[in-house]
Amino acid sequence: MRINVDQLNSHLQRSLQGFYWIAGDETLLVQEALAALRARGRAQGFTEWELFFVDRSFSWQTMLQSGNSLSLFADRKIIELRVSGKLDEAGRDALGQYLASPNPDNLLILVTPKQESATLSTKWFKALESAGVFVQVWPVDLRGLPRWIAARMARLGLSADADAISLLCERVEGNLLAADQEIEKLGVLTGATPARKVHVDRRQIMALVADSSRYNVFSLLDAALLGDARRCLKVLAGLQAEGSEVLALLAMLARELRTLIAVGRRIASGSAGAAAMSAEGVRKTHEAPIAAALERLSLPALEALLQQARQVDLAVKGMSPANAWTELTDILLALSGTPLMTTAQDQR
């Protein structure tokens, strides 16, 4: 069986299976799914808990021995496996062996990072999925964040207008842990409860919520590649305020432009997008921003931006009268797909 994480609570109200696989990279949502499973397990008499961290030195025989042994302190137990990377062949075999004849006195929980789409069609995955419940934890994107925040606030008896929620989204900028903490703080400071509803406005959000935006070069480049000029400018301003060096940002930007050009050339030569990105070493989590930029910008445009990057270097070294930050901003805006104003001479 396969469900999304937001379906887990309603599923647990109906039944509790012997095996659950939670897969995703959103820490808060994974933690909450685990908490719901443990709570349901305890209510069903699974009062002992064994936790295993699976790394390269882990022996899967340890899990099999634990799964087949009698509990020393209780009739039923929860066995939790935390896998930090890919599930290797030894792990797949051990899980298959256990699930072929599972111990009814155990609740087995497997936690892994997000699984690639290719994995979901493999024979071994389908065998594990059919033996229990596969819980997919999807990240909350920036478009879905306002709805997610509004739902979280409602749980605590809080409500807010769209403007206030928009400000809160800007303050936490995709960090669900930070968002959850700030919503909890709002609940405490306003005295809101499910029985005592409280409405907050933009002014209160500004006064009570910290700015948890994370400024780093990776979020800067992702914003530009995804075409989010507004966020790109915000992150760039934050980096500048924090004292980031222009040349350090330029080096990362130039490397990204070279990657885009290399991938674009492979695609132009007939390679599939995924194969081209894999050949150039693009990590899976970075494929979507790269694909978005290549769909929006032509190869000649990307090559022109790489040439323009030289102007930033010259400005930093005092070999050009241009302002380095302004030049860098122009390149990032062009990369994000925002047209720049041109002079009459440029248009001729």
Mean pLDDT of the chain: 87
Compute, in degrees rounded to 10, the torsion defined by CA atoms 202, 207, 208, 209. Answer: 70
Average pLDDT over residues 246-268: 91
Q: Residue 176 — very low, low, confident or very high, per pLDDT cuts 50/70/90? A: confident
- Answer whether 88's CB lies under 8 Å from 55's CB: no
What does the pLDDT read at residue 211?
60
Three-class SS of the chain:
CEEEHHHHHHHHHHCCCCEEEEEECCHHHHHHHHHHHHHHHHHCCEEEEEEEEECCCCCHHHHHHHHHCCCCCCCEEEEEEEECCCCCHHHHHHHHHHHHCCCCCEEEEEEECCCCCCHHHCHHHHHHHHCCEEEEECCCCCCCHHHHHHHHHHHCCEEECHHHHHHHHHHHCCCHHHHHHHHHHHHHHHCCECCECEEECHHHHHHHCCCCCCCCHHHHHHHHHCCCHHHHHHHHHHHHHCCCCHHHHHHHHHHHHHHHHHHHHHHHCCCCHHHHHHHCCCCHHHHHHHHHHHHHCCHHHHHHHHHHHHHHHHHHCCCCCCCHHHHHHHHHHHHCCCCCCCCHHHHC
Q: Residue 283 — very low, low, confident or very high, per pLDDT cuts 50/70/90? A: confident
Q: Cα angle at 39 between 36 and 44, to 5 degrees?
A: 125
Cα–Cα distance list, 130 to 104, 105, 125, 133 (Å): 16, 19, 9, 7
Domains and CATH numbers, the chain: 2-137 (3.40.50.300), 145-208 (1.10.8.60), 217-341 (1.20.272.10)
What does the pLDDT read at residue 339?
59
What does the pLDDT read at residue 74?
57
Residue with tokens 């008499």: 45
Which of 1-10, 141-150, 267-276 has the largest mean confidence?
A: 1-10
pTM here is 0.60
Rounded to the nearest angstrom, the gap between the alpha carbon of residue 120 and the centroid of all alpha carbons in its chain is 19
- The amino acid at residue 78 is I
213-240 pLDDT, tens digit each: 556 788 888 889 999 888 888 888 888 8
Would the pLDDT of 100 be above 60? Answer: yes
